[in-house]
A and B are shown apart, each in its own frame.
Chain A
């Protein structure tokens, strides 16, 4: 079982399921072996029905598709369509949030409200919206409308791209890849990769970059920023993680998916006095709301609610027999869930008209009846408590500290009066912190669950690289105990540990869900703005990694990081290896174009080495690779300092 996952809780339940003859993601993954080699390398084309076509990766025939498409064209189109798919997912999420914000602004009785006025003002200012002497509802309505325009507009710029460093913006303009409208770029990407349109892999990837930027600096950023306005900007708090958070004696409701629009209402409903009373009347000691996947991250960051597990643990949560209801919305929901729910008393409830599953109960969750629907769902879960049979909750659970939003980082580095990124930049410059790495992304049963995340992060922090995390990767490292502040002393290199101990942080900072990768973009831009580390994101000693990725969304994220200037390395493998020419393009030529480039490396140790090498290279270019003598200031030098 150890090859399946490094997590004992997972090992235990996978074993149990196997003994009972129940399928899990791992058994089904095994059934897929051997996988289609063409598909894995990106060489299978299904864009038209002259095919499916495939290219022989060993140089033998066939080397062209029926239409004449070469390996690099097929790989490029497939890869670009993954970007479009990922960008669509994040952005459709962002659109829902914008609609909710508009609702909150216009219909105060909707149950949604504007929680963070400071953030509202900040976002409005960034969008060029007047805030002075205006009611928050008016500002919020305009912010929401402006955000919605960013999806549908045909010309102009996706506005948050202006938060990038000026040098980066200028580069995007030069390359003509500033996204015009979020939906437009996705549609154009789909068009250009349809049969017989864009046949130049380089040109395809430029639109790939524009589409990805429309996600990172568009859809995802809108989702993050507007969620903060609606539900509060996260700040550091404590939580717990792993299946051991499920309660033996409370009604367990597991919420799974991505959009906090649903989970926030479930949080409210689960605290409802009447429902709590009702739970007691059913013999439960209370209601325990826990999360899976990115929804888990959202409710953790804003409420400190527990995380039951990451994406590969969704079936296992049900197989504890302790979950009264699993409520899902969109993305990363496995169609296998009804199957496994059937073996237990768990009710599987879908809530989005966009995402229904046969044999699951659907509660249409519309913005206008959100709280009532949430209460109905919780009620259903409570009434299910008495049907619970034997439970098998693994004991594993781990403490963690999370909530490192951009704003929280500013505060924690200097308080209300001196907050800024200066201490971060300073300690990067003086070498206590070698660099910063974003380690993000999914889990994938093709590799040992959690192992790459944990091994990579362990290696990075030991080498004084501060790690910022989101998504299922953060959950993996949380389970391994890296997200407690005590881990600085235990796992971090001396320099990083000193900084962590000065600030009181873990060496691994949990910043949120996968749309919250946009927080990392903002953080990188701020590092550039503060100064001392070059004029562009591409000059920073930073890197990105998705060690166990599986979703198209990860490819979109990877591409927007690369196009923003970040060296980004993926584990497992990339569906591009079938074309050397394409690999050459995104692994090498990209560096000249964007300053950031892709890399693929399944081994976490080697992945860490490549990240460290890259960061060292950047440090050398910045001239901060060697310890500098302390500068002592006389009056003349002080006059040069900024006041």
Chain B
């Protein structure tokens, strides 16, 4: 019965709070109360205390208040007889545990050397990554938003064998779930088991080793808290909404593997506060009645072969996975995997051999659905370690198919193929580059399986717009070279067509409310000249998505009467935004950063904001973690921009939008840009040079400051004054 769980969780909480108290006292004695504590590169302070209590903890001394809160929550341990109600107490003990965890983890970040590797992926020497930074949060956030990642599994402990650990990890990956790993038992952890088996871990493969210590489990819940704060627009300290948001949006659960001690029970109690149930492989008793979680709270013991499906069922999660008939594991989690040269069996196309990928429309009677041909040698006939030419030629047919959809479908080849475990894909069109790992080859992966993947996935995701698809794989130089020009001609035509497409040329735009699952009041309006702020959806994508799912998050929106041509305001768009934002936004200007700008969910690639004294704006890409001239890091800026609120002077947008003619046209366009982070500036160099030419501004590219020349607004002003930047002579922004 669940009293046992309550007793152990409460006991665990007492132990962890005592440990936090001891370690905090020691840290303050050794390092001084004013020593800074922070998880690196985040605008969310220590996320649990920030989210639950609204505390902005920045020093060791600041942790004392959190400790006080934890102690206040600590309940008595239930009596053996005549006990008092313990469920509320257990949940409070769980929260006290998370507070204690956060204290202990925060102290770790004051240690030298840092016990964590603050990178997206572990190295051979450093397995444990610690808290995710905001760059990761935003990059990965979009996957939680659009459903690519339906949730996460927080795995604690270890499996009885490495094989089982790999099997469970693979199964979770195949179900598209993130796997957050923490808390070793008797020095053993699932992450170490995966490492021993050579499984590639890190954010890119969705297998995230947080930390060896039981307290590192808090990073899972901290991530969940930040999702609510950044994408859900929940205010710090509004614990009710943070927790409700997680119960109803972030479908996570805990897998307790191996023996579960008091401290791990306490973590489970903390997770239940978030609506995350625990499923254990050992017999730790159960809490079946529902209410805090959607369904059961603790289920045990569950055999390993059923533990993943049971966990998904208990969490109330519906995952539809297209079954891909290939002899290797398949799922988006494998998309981030790399195949290193020494692991590679064969390399396809790339820099030394020709190759391309092409998708075209045919008549229905010209296509035989499911036909896959390999023209040229199969993998068995290719020498290990060699590089060969490689082309993929896809023909689709169907009543709903339009040439406009061809590039959209073609672009999916990258993600689809990368989903196979042990296969690596990069680039697109005629710059494709693939590797097949030795292990995949050993498991029986053949070239024809590229066809199997594409057939299954294209049907699974785009089946509504075509009926048949056939695929040819070319592995011989002659055929590849014969066909490459045909493909190239079409690429050029497509580019020209897209470049010609303007907002004026269409009657309707597409909405994107995909992110309303996370940011309930945010509405993206995608126009031909302003792609979705995540960079993942352009106008044509919106059109195709609407065709695929007519009632889905991408709806056509008539522009209606023009209200303001320059700023990009239309009557019907205003109405739509007003309605879809649940009456929080009345007006919307597509081309302004100052007046009723478009809101953001939190998934933006870039943020632009006004630097008042320069009469210009700065633009920063999400990977840039240093301080910007606005006085805020990207993470802090993101906090100001996200959550579906109009913030004059700030917009979130895609990289591509910078090169658009409609980029903040109301304020004068891209010539307002006075600062960009260097990587972004260099990446967009051709685009920026083009803008300079169009505007007749010689040397415009060099007039834009970056972090190498200016890190404060004053320095930017000095730099652009010296360069005579055009922003200085534009009308005042305000």
**Choice from A414, A502, A504, A632 contacting B288 with Cβ under 8 Å:** A502
Is there an interface contact between A411 and B295, defined as CB atoms closer than 8 Å? no
Contact assessment for A498 and B289 in the assembled complex, using a CB-CB cutoff below 8 Å: yes
Interfacial chain A residues near B73, Cβ < 8 Å: 416
Q: State the Cβ distance, B3 to closest chain A Cβ, in Å.
A: 6
Chain B nearest Cβ from A410, distance in angstroms: 9
Is B95's CB within 8 Å of the partner chain A? yes
Q: Can you give 13 A-B contacts (C-beta < 8 A)?
A: A237-B84, A412-B85, A412-B87, A414-B87, A415-B88, A415-B91, A416-B88, A417-B92, A418-B243, A502-B2, A634-B319, A643-B232, A643-B244
- Per the bound structure, the CA–CA distance linking A257 and B432 in Å amounts to 89
Partner of B249, one of A401, A422, A505, A643: A643
Q: Interface digits, A398-426 against B, CB 8 Å rule (1 contact, 0 not)?
A: 01010000001001111111110011101
Contact with B along A616-643 (1 / 0, CB 8 A): 0000000000000011111111110111
Q: Find chain A residues with CB under 8 A from B86 CB.
A: 503-504
Q: Is the CB of A413 within 8 A of B289?
A: no
> B251 to A501, Cβ gap below 8 A?
no
Q: Is there a chain A Cβ closer than 8 Å to B563's Cβ?
A: no
Max chain A C-beta neighbours (<10 A), residue from B94, B95, B289: B289
Given known contacts A415-B273, A416-B92, A504 and B85 CB-to-CB distance under 8 angstroms: yes
Query: Measured between alpha carbons, how far is A432 from B52 in the docked complex, in Å?
Result: 32
* A416 engages B82 (CB within 8 Å): no
Which of these, B248, B287, B295, contacts A638 with CB under 8 Å? B248
Which residues in A have their C-beta under 8 angstroms from that of B82? 238, 399, 401, 484-486
Residue pair A415, B87 in contact (C-beta under 8 Å): yes
Which of B78, B241, B316 has the most C-beta atoms of chain A within 10 angstroms of its own C-beta?
Answer: B316
Residue of A nearest to B520 (CB): A643
B interface with A by C-beta (< 8 Å): 1-3, 6, 52, 73, 78, 81-92, 94-95, 146-147, 150, 232, 234, 239-241, 243-245, 248-249, 251, 273, 287-292, 294-295, 297, 312-313, 316-320, 516-517, 520, 552
- Bound CA span A162–B517, Å: 35
Interface 1/0 per residue, A298-317 and B, CB below 8 Å = 00000000000000000000
**B295→A630 contact, CB < 8 A:** yes
> B94: nearest residue on chain A (CB-CB)?
A415
A423/B316 in contact, CB under 8 A: no
CB-contact partner of B87 in A237, A413, A631, under 8 A:
A413
Sample of 12 further A-B pairs with CB below 8 A, known A426-B289, A503-B87? A399-B82, A414-B88, A415-B90, A417-B91, A418-B292, A426-B290, A502-B87, A504-B83, A631-B316, A632-B313, A634-B319, A641-B248
**Closest 10 A-B residue pairs measured CB to CB?**
A423-B291, A415-B91, A635-B147, A632-B318, A641-B248, A504-B86, A412-B85, A415-B88, A634-B318, A415-B92
Total chain A interface residues with beta-carbon distance under 8 A: 46
A424 to B290, CA, bound (A): 9
How long is the Cα–Cα vector from A414 to B83 in the complex, in angstroms? Answer: 17
Residue of A411, A485, A637, A639 near B83 (CB, 8 A) is: A485
A430 cross-chain contacts in B, Cβ below 8 A: 290
Contact residue among B78, B291, B520 (Cβ-Cβ distance under 8 Å from A413)? B291
CA distance A422 to B91 in the complex (A): 15
Chain A residues at the B interface, C-beta cutoff of 8 Å: 236-238, 399, 401, 408, 411-419, 422-424, 426-427, 430, 432, 484-486, 489, 498-499, 501-505, 630-639, 641-643
CB-based contact B95/A505 at 8 Å: no
| Contact B87 A417, beta carbon cutoff 8 Å | no
Please give, as numbers and ranges, the residues of chain B lying within 8 Å of A489 by CB-CB distance.
Answer: 1
| Docked CA distance A643–B150 (Å) | 17
Question: Given A427-B290, A486-B82, do A633 and B318 touch, yes or no (CB 8 Å)?
Answer: yes
> In the assembled complex, which residues on chain B have CB atoms less than 8 Å from the CB atom of A633?
251, 294, 316-318
| Chain A residues, Cβ within 8 Å of B292 | 414, 418, 422-423
Residues on B with beta carbons closer than 8 Å to the beta carbon of A641:
248-249
Which of chain A's residues have a CB closer than 8 A to the CB of B318?
A: 632-634, 637
Knowing A501-B2, A634-B147, say if A424 contacts B291 (CB, 8 Å).
Answer: yes
Docked pose: A412 CA to B86 CA in angstroms: 7
Residue in B3, B95, B516 whose beta carbon sits within 8 Å of that of A415 in the complex: B95
CB closest residue in chain B, given A632: B318
Specify which chain A residues have a CB less than 8 angstroms from the CB of B2 in the assembled complex.
501-502, 504
On whether the beta carbons of A236 and B85 are closer than 8 Å, the reply is: yes
Q: Tell me which of A415, A504, A632, A642 contacts B78 (CB under 8 A).
A: A504
Quote the shortest CB–CB distance from B579 to chain A (angstroms).
Answer: 16
**Is B91 a contact of A414 with CB atoms below 8 Å?**
yes
Q: Nearest Cβ distance between residue A439 and chain B, in whole angstroms?
A: 20
Alpha-carbon separation in the docked complex, A124 to B282 (Å)? 50
Using Cβ atoms and an 8 Å threshold, which residues of chain B touch A414?
Answer: 87-88, 91, 291-292
Contact B147 A504 (CB under 8 A): no
B313 and A417 contact, CB distance less than 8 A: no
What's the nearest-Cβ distance from chain B to residue A526, in Å? 14
* CB nearest to A484 among chain B residues: B82
A642 and B244 contacting across the interface, CB-CB below 8 Å: yes
Structural contact, A632 and B287, CB atoms closer than 8 A: no
Tell me the minimal C-beta distance from A41 to chain B in angstroms: 45
How far is A630 from B313 in the complex, measured between Cα atoms in Å? 8
Assembly CA distance A399 to B84 (angstroms)? 12
Least CB distance from B321 to A in Å reads 12
Q: Specify which chain A residues have a CB less than 8 angstroms from the CB of B146 in the assembled complex.
A: 635
Give Cα A59 to B91, complex, Å: 64
Asked if B273 contacts A643 (CB within 8 A), the reply is no
A642: nearest chain-B partner, CB-CB: B248
- From B146, which residue of chain A is reached at the shortest CB distance? A635
Q: Which residues of A contact B89 (CB under 8 A)?
A: 415
Complex: chain A residue closest to B87, CB-CB: A503
Residues of B within 8 A of A417 (CB): 52, 91-92, 95, 239-240, 243, 273
* Chain B hits for A413, CB < 8 A: 87-88, 291
A501 touches which of B3, B81, B319, B552 (Cβ 8 Å): B3
> Which residues on the B side are within 8 Å of A632 (C-beta)?
312-313, 316-318
User: Closest approach, in angstroms, between the C-beta of A262 and any C-beta of chain B?
Assistant: 28
Most chain A Cβ neighbours within 10 Å, of B89, B146, B319: B89
CA distance A411 to B150 in the complex (A): 31
Q: Which of A412, A432, A501, A635 contacts B150 (CB 8 A)?
A: A635
* Residues in chain A near residue B291, CB distance under 8 A: 413-414, 422-424, 426-427
Nearest-neighbour CB distance to chain A for B537, whole angstroms, equals 16
Q: Compute how far the CA of A401 lies from the CA of B317 in the bound complex, rounded to whole angstroms.
A: 38
A243 and B87 alpha carbons, distance in the complex (Å): 33
Note all chain B residues with C-beta closer than 8 A to A635.
Answer: 146-147, 150, 517
